Amino acid sequence: MAFVITVALLKGGVGKTTTAVALAEAASLGAPVTLVDADPMGSAYRWSQLAAESGQPLRSAVVPMAAADLPRRIGPASRGAAVVVIDAPPPGPGAATIAGGAIGAADVVVMPTPPEFAALDRVPATAAQAAEHGTRALAVLTMVRAGLADRQAAVDALKGWGVAVAATELPLTVSVQRNYGQAVTGTLARFGIDLMSELIGGTDNG
């Protein structure tokens, strides 16, 4: 059985696809990985297409699968993979069913969130959905600007809500923004490797 990581938050624009691709590429350094793009927007799949066209394809196999019966389809689509990473969709028509299936299929749910209240406010609902399935959930701060107090305020808020917080964070940098459609390198690669290590080790920021 593959180890399934679902990257989900009930809000768009929080860095889900970036986190999912980084995790899939980190895991693929040591094992076969399938990245399931469950977002109807297809950003992860498009990323893989652009990377292939650039001559530096992603190591993970990216499969578009924005389907309501996602849990049933994952097994056949990821046969031979040791790790499956699911990029769940943000809210939208039909997205709740797809996201719910992605969360239900996971061994761990990763919840990317920038340190701003509009995004943080959606974390408890996502964590509660994971808890309904008895699935571990971990918040990961993304788009973190160096030296700003909102980062610590975000950590304090999440922990006050009883949400586990990863020690690994994704900074807001030009290099990360430019990584879309390219092989995962530099800061984004290190983020993926460090976060994957946390998921395997079961540690959090506390």
Let me know if residue 13 belongs to a domain: yes
114 near 142, Cβ under 8 Å? yes
pLDDT score of 202: 60
Summarize pLDDT for 81-135 with one digit per residue, the tens: 999 999 999 888 788 899 999 999 999 999 999 999 999 999 999 999 999 999 9
- How many separate domains does the chain show? 1
Does the pLDDT of residue 147 top 80, yes or no?
no
Longest Cα–Cα distance of the chain, Å, equals 46
Summarize pLDDT for 40-50 with one digit per residue, the tens: 999 999 999 99
pLDDT score of 201: 79
Let me know if residue 138 belongs to a domain: yes
**Parallel, antiparallel or unpaired: strands 83-87 and 61-64:** unpaired
Give the domain range for residue 183: 3-201
Let me know if residue 206 belongs to a domain: no
Summarize pLDDT for 62-86 with one digit per residue, the tens: 999 988 899 899 989 889 999 999 9
- Report how far residue 198's alpha carbon sits from residue 168's, in angstroms, rounded to the nearest whole number: 8
- Residue 187 Cα distances to 107, 179, 191, 194, angstroms: 26, 9, 6, 11
pLDDT band at 206 (very low <50, low <70, confident <90, very high): very low
The CATH number covering residue 58 comes to: 3.40.50.300
Q: Which two tokens stand for residue 86?
A: 């699911």
First to last CA, the chain: 30
**Better pLDDT: 19 or 204:** 19
Let me know if residue 43 belongs to a domain: yes
195 near 140, Cβ under 8 Å? yes
Let me know if residue 78 belongs to a domain: yes
